[in-house]
Amino acid sequence: MQRQLMVTNIQRMCFHDGPGIRTTVFTKGCSIHCPWCSNPENISFRPEYYEKDGIRGIYGKEYPISELVGILLKDQDFWDVDGGVTFSGGEALMQAEALQGVLEELKKLQIHTAVETALFIPVGKLKLVLPHIDYFIVDIKILDQKICHKVLGGNVEDYKANVEMLYNSGRLKQFRIPCCPEYTFTEENKKLLLAFLKQYPDIPVQVFSIHTMGKKKYETLNRTMWESRGVEERILAEYCQSLKKEGINAEFIHI
């Protein structure tokens, strides 16, 4: 078993990464490449040097399981009864072997665990961690197979199979749609989104606009961020209303 988890950041007092107050662990490495990604430091699986304000640092540190669990437990008093730990990325489930070890230790202490995932992962990795995660937040992005493969490098059929397995487990708790007018919020993709969501009418949906808040991080890596105008809050509010008319519990959030 992989005994170390590659992490870029541990963020405390998070309120949008699952129920209650969360500590969110951002892991390094992703299985897809979204043009609008706001966490460029989490795309590569390898540590990367960066420079900010004349200071050189590195994105990515390997934490032994016991050390990482010890760090997380320092926040336990803030979680109260409904909070806990969330793993995000990148794609945290691509490090399923190490993640499994961390999750097992947290579950021994009855700590609530969550993960935010795009779910473009081998099914074996999902099966490995599924028994140890209480709450899955799953992104829905591009559902046309050809466009998804070209833009993201993902396989929609594999994604759908993973969603179905997760749904049947009872641990799929939230969908999220990052709204990008060039790719995810096109008229054609919205039709596909609606048909997909109707298969899971009991799963609530959060929609949000992509943003450029990660621009400074791209600059620290000497890269240029792909920029989009995003989607106006008014339009997203109207979109949520249209989904509600179709029986889908949708809400607009800021991320």
Q: Enter the tokens of residue 214.
A: 């990660």
Q: Which of 132, 137, 89, 88 is nearest to 111 (CA)?
A: 132
- The pLDDT of residue 2 is 60
CA dihedral angle for residue 235, residue 238, residue 240, residue 244, rounded to 10 degrees: -160
- The pLDDT of residue 255 is 79
- The pLDDT of residue 203 is 98
> Which residue bears the tokens 């609008």?
36
Computed over every residue of the chain, the mean pLDDT equals 96
What residues contact residue 247 under an 8 Å CB cut-off, 6+ apart? Answer: 198, 201
> Which residue bears the tokens 């969501």?
197
- The pLDDT of residue 123 is 97
- The pLDDT of residue 130 is 98
Domain ranges of the chain: 4-179
d(CA 92, CA 95): 6
Q: Calculate Rg over the CA atoms of the chain.
A: 18
Compute φ and ψ for 47, nearest 5 degrees.
-60, 145
**Sign of the CA dihedral running 160, 157, 85, 210:** negative
- The pLDDT of residue 254 is 87
pTM above 0.75, yes or no: yes
- The strand pair at 4-14 and 22-27 is best described as antiparallel
Query: Residue 246 burial by CB count (10 A; 0-12/13-18/19+): exposed, middle or buried?
Result: exposed
- Looking at residue 152, what DSSP letter applies? T
* The amino acid at 35: P
Buried b (16+ CB within 10 A) or exposed e, 58-74: ebbeebebeebbeebee
Helix H or strand E encompassing 147: helix 145-151
- Which segments of the chain have a pLDDT < 70? 1-2
Q: Enter the tokens of residue 191.
A: 């039709």
C-beta atoms surrounding 124 within 10 Å:
8
* pLDDT tens by residue, 105-152: 999 999 999 999 999 999 999 999 999 999 999 999 999 999 999 999
C-beta atoms surrounding 131 within 10 Å:
12
d(CA 83, CA 105): 17
d(CA 240, CA 230): 16
> Which residue bears the tokens 């897809």?
32
Q: What angle do CA 235, 240, 242 make, to 5 degrees?
A: 95
| Candidates 3.40.50.300, 3.20.20.70, 2.60.120.10, 3.30.200.20; CATH matching 4-179 | 3.20.20.70
